[in-house]
Amino acid sequence: MSKKKLVLTLGLGLTLFATAASAVFVGRGEYAAYYRNGELVGGESRDCDNNLSQWGEVTDDYDMGYWLCGI
């Protein structure tokens, strides 16, 4: 493998790992609230129809919750 291909492959792998490690997957009817130093800085949610909404920053400090669907 050439040096250029190796560098590109490693760079892509690190990028994918960093993205996956920083994002929380929210499923249908779930939400996540992201905090920094106790202050709400972002959020994401999927409503009961599976529509995704996101805003703000993603951090390692988060809480997850659930919407009541089908009641």
The pLDDT value recorded for residue 18 is 43
| Contact criterion met (CB below 8 Å) for 20 and 1 | no
pLDDT confidence of 69, banded at 50, 70, 90? confident
Q: Where along the chain do its domains lie?
A: 29-67
Residue 50 token pair: 């599976």
Phi and psi for 28 in degrees, rounded to 5? -55, 125
- What pLDDT is attached to residue 62? 95
Determine the pLDDT at residue 21.
Answer: 42
Which among 18, 16, 12 has a CA at the least distance from the CA of 60?
Answer: 18
DSSP 8-state class, residue 47: -
How far is residue 31's CA from residue 45's CA, in Å, rounded to a whole number?
A: 4
Tens-place pLDDT, residues 7-57:
556 565 555 444 444 567 888 889 999 999 999 999 999 998 989 999 999
